[in-house]
Amino acid sequence: MKKYCEMTKEELLSEKELLEKRYSEKKALGLKLDISRGKPCPEQLALSAPMLDLVNSKTENFKCENGFDIRNYGVVDGIPECRRLFAEILDADPDEVIVTGNSSLNLFYDLIAHAVCHGVPGSERPWGEDKNRKLLCPAPGYDRHFAVGELFGFELVIVKMNADGPDMDEVERLIADPSVKGIICVPKYSNPQGISFSEEVVKRFANLSPAAPDFRIFWDNAYVVHDLYPDGEKDYVPSLLRLAKENGKGNMVYMLGSTSKITFPTAGLAAVASSAENTADFKRMLSFQNIGPDKINQMRHVLFFKDLDGVLKHMRKQAEIIRPKFETVLAVLKAELGETGIARWNSPKGGYFVSAELLPGTAKRTVALCKEAGLTLTGAGSVYPYGKDPEDSVLRIAPTFAPAAELPVAMELFSIAARLAAAEKLLSEK
Amino acid sequence: MKKYCEMTKEELLSEKELLEKRYSEKKALGLKLDISRGKPCPEQLALSAPMLDLVNSKTENFKCENGFDIRNYGVVDGIPECRRLFAEILDADPDEVIVTGNSSLNLFYDLIAHAVCHGVPGSERPWGEDKNRKLLCPAPGYDRHFAVGELFGFELVIVKMNADGPDMDEVERLIADPSVKGIICVPKYSNPQGISFSEEVVKRFANLSPAAPDFRIFWDNAYVVHDLYPDGEKDYVPSLLRLAKENGKGNMVYMLGSTSKITFPTAGLAAVASSAENTADFKRMLSFQNIGPDKINQMRHVLFFKDLDGVLKHMRKQAEIIRPKFETVLAVLKAELGETGIARWNSPKGGYFVSAELLPGTAKRTVALCKEAGLTLTGAGSVYPYGKDPEDSVLRIAPTFAPAAELPVAMELFSIAARLAAAEKLLSEK
């Protein structure tokens, strides 16, 4: 097949006609498919069902390690055994870890709200008093991160993503501005590109010298144990907190994680690991906000997993369910778009997304075509701050939730739509 | 027995000597008792144990009424059946109710943070931009409420509590100041006095005309179903939201509640009922903060209680456990302090506390004496804003958590300490 950009007008017209026919056939199926959000499928959720039985009416001992009753008030930073579990997951020390209820997004929100209202260690004043406050946003990235930044009045500054993480030259340049208060990123199997930051990138993060004395790196390690190929190729990202502490810069780091995509989204746990000073500060904030997290649910998780090894065994089962879905997505993309020259995509080793970069100016049209034919995608632009993709090019595909049997047709429709949009675009320029 | 204030110096000296002897005897017991916090006792917690079994690995249907999977993302305002349950509890309409995880304190914190950062319906600007913002605090009241207000930079303005609720003349006078942004109160079986607001007081609340266009009443109905005498004398407080809506003032009201002292503190649920506009606004805020509450735990509660009637039956069992403890506290106070003339206290029909008003200037000394002899009380002053009791007089007694067998000696020690402190004080003035 010829690449689209090499086709003549006539060839494009004939290609368009063919695509319109295929599109109509798909549309006639009356599909109702959704590959928009990174949601576990029911088979994945079923893996965690035994956890629900582990604290029950026959339980005799409701005490956690420090002697508190998990059914009653107290232990605002989480039960010790659960802090230890998350310390293993996030590669931090247990006394640097605070465990709450769901989710890491909620922790990010609370940390930002706290910094805006009260400031954090090192702050000369609450961030909210800095009218020109800015948040660095490596993009493509996670729409809900950007939305929190925007809600709290930050100017969102795009940083380019390279194959090994954010463009660190750019980051180092930007942080010379004292109104740049932080950066939000997903360091492993990033949302949506599945990029893992290289050791060199992490080391540069750990040694940043920002102008703002209270600059923070929000390190949302949402996919830290989410390898698709546990026995094969998988990524390793070192602990930013450990590296930053070696440089005496531990206060710069909040590492976040959760079990949202390990056990149950919204009925899982989240954790933040940080320096001793940050941890004490955030614990103090939490002690105003509530009188302890759901310790019963923390205990369920501890009894279910016991330790990191238990988590990894569980994630192996998750991978068995979702790996074929990722492979289907990649196979259809290759078959349908591989020779067209109108799209590039990643082949992630973990995480929850495949990110497709389409012909500039065709992402919105592709989403609209899919929607019209019964396939829901995340809105075009959503992977960029303010929902504005400067190239109208990047779309996020979330393979996990859709039934395996429906994914091929969903991806076929996606590909047809992307090709049709490209043909239309190119024809409009002829 | 003569009243202390009528005793001569000699009589007081002899009384003091007697008390010191009794105090030494108690101290020699090496007690380790705690009546400081309103915590359910293990017997109360055991009542809710069957709830833990209701969603389990054998559960076949994880769908809630609106078709969402309770194990997965979504339903940011709570599952419909749980909103209905809380609508009954709080006396509101289900579509006015949002149900989250624990706790009502957390909801209060989030609402205050939201108003300070972004404003609420009716706001001309975020509350945080009002440098002189004030929060009305009927006192004695709940220390954690005051702490949240202080953390967010409000000047806490004391409003006197009368036997039927806050001094409404004072409230109506104070809200003429546009920098008064809200009032926080516990309308039924108040913390710590056990006062329930009269219908007239609630009607005056519902018809306030504050100068601030975004003034809010935070109505923490923490003890709404917490009657000690379900078959006898119990208080009724009408729904502030319903009354305010009749006056076209629904936006003024956030009614809060939780199951912290119904099922499990910290592993319970909380809810807020408000006007349609406030509810939409808060739901939007929550949709930035997270991707749904713990719907599995919401379903546990729904299956356990079914409806308000189920809740009331459960609270009847709670009352059977804690009523004798309240009666012990009151009996010892009466026997030990009844004729001394140095103390007054309430006889609450519900809630979690007995509040004792001691001879002015003796509360701190009483707490110190108790502590020295092994009895922990909430700090003197904690029931007032900034922890400062203008009279150094009010102490809060929390009878529920202490084992029934230990309460008599705890209350005897408390009474001896209060009497000793009073004798010392009166002698110092002779």
What are the tens digits of pLDDT across the range A372-388? 999 999 999 999 999 99
Q: What would the mean pLDDT of B245-254 be, rounded to a whole number?
A: 98
For B95-126, letters b (16+ CB in 10 Å) and e give ebbbbbbbbbbbbbbbbbbbbbbbbbbebeeb
B150–chain A Cβ distance below 8 A for any pair: no
Both tokens of residue A297? 């649910």
Q: How far is B125 from chain A (nearest CA, A)?
A: 13
**Contact between B267 and A296 using a beta-carbon 8 Å cutoff:** yes
**Contact between A71 and B265 using a beta-carbon 8 Å cutoff:** yes
**Contact between B297 and A49 using a beta-carbon 8 Å cutoff:** no
**Contact between B72 and A45 using a beta-carbon 8 Å cutoff:** yes
Tell me the C-alpha distance between A174 and A208, whole Å. 11
Give A185-210 as a DSSP string: E--SS-TTT-----HHHHHHHHT---
Tell me the C-alpha distance between A262 and A40, whole Å. 9
The residues, ordered by sequence, that sit 6+ positions from B150 with a Cβ below 8 Å of its Cβ are B156, B385, B386
Q: How far is A148 from chain B (nearest CA, A)?
A: 6
Mutate to test the interface with B, among A61, A62, A72 (most CBs of B within 10 A): A72
Helix, strand, or coil (residue A314) = helix
**Contact between B37 and A103 using a beta-carbon 8 Å cutoff:** no
Residues 110-139 of B with CB under 8 A from A: 110, 113, 116-118, 128
pLDDT at A30: 95
Per residue in B296-314, pLDDT (tens digit) is 999 999 999 999 999 999 9
> Cβ-count burial of A372 within 10 angstroms (0-12 exposed, 13-18 middle, 19+ buried)?
exposed
A113 interaction partners in chain B (CB closer than 8 Å): 113, 117
Reported ipTM: the value is 0.97
Tell me the C-alpha distance between A1 and A341, whole Å. 10
Q: How far is B412 from chain A (nearest CA, A)?
A: 27
B45–chain A Cβ distance below 8 A for any pair: yes
B297 interaction partners in chain A (CB closer than 8 Å): 267, 294, 297
Contact present, B244 and B77 (Cβ < 8 Å): no
Task: Look over chain B and give the mean of its residue pLDDT values, rounded to a whole number.
Answer: 97
**Contact between B106 and A290 using a beta-carbon 8 Å cutoff:** yes
Q: Rounded to whole angstroms, what are the CA distances from A371 to A32, A376, A414, A417?
A: 9, 5, 10, 10
Nearest beta carbon to residue A102 from set B50, B69, B290: B290
Beta strand A269-274 with B216-220: parallel, antiparallel or unpaired? unpaired
Under 8 Å CB pairs connecting chains A and B tally to 149
Q: Around B285, how many Cα atoms within 13 Å sit in the side-chain half-sphere?
A: 24
Contact present, B394 and B355 (Cβ < 8 Å): yes
The residues, ordered by sequence, that sit 6+ positions from A267 with a Cβ below 8 Å of its Cβ are A102, A297, B70, B71, B294, B295, B296, B297
Q: Around B112, how many Cα atoms within 13 Å sit in the side-chain half-sphere?
A: 31
Identify which of A243, A274, A415 has the alpha carbon closest to the alpha carbon of residue A339: A415
DSSP bridge partners of A395? A356
Backbone φ, ψ for residue A278 (5° rounding):
-65, -40
A105 interaction partners in chain B (CB closer than 8 Å): 289-291
Tell me the C-alpha distance between B25 and B359, whole Å. 24
Give A240-299 as a DSSP string: HHHHHHHTT-GGGEEEEEESTTTS-TTSSEEEEEE-HHHHHHHHHHHHHH-S---HHHHH
Q: What is the pTM of this model?
A: 0.97
pLDDT string in tens for chain A (430-residue length): 899 999 999 999 999 999 999 999 999 999 999 999 999 999 999 999 999 999 999 999 999 999 999 999 999 999 999 999 999 999 999 999 999 998 999 999 999 999 999 999 999 999 999 999 999 999 999 999 999 999 999 999 999 999 999 999 999 999 999 999 999 999 999 999 999 999 999 999 999 999 999 999 999 999 999 999 999 999 999 999 999 999 999 999 999 999 999 999 999 999 999 999 999 999 999 999 999 999 999 999 999 999 999 999 999 999 999 999 999 999 999 999 999 999 999 999 999 999 999 999 999 999 999 999 999 999 999 999 999 999 999 999 999 999 999 999 999 999 999 999 999 999 999 8
In the block, residue with structure tokens 């000793």: B420
Single-letter amino acid code for the residue at A81? E
Contact present, A338 and A418 (Cβ < 8 Å): no
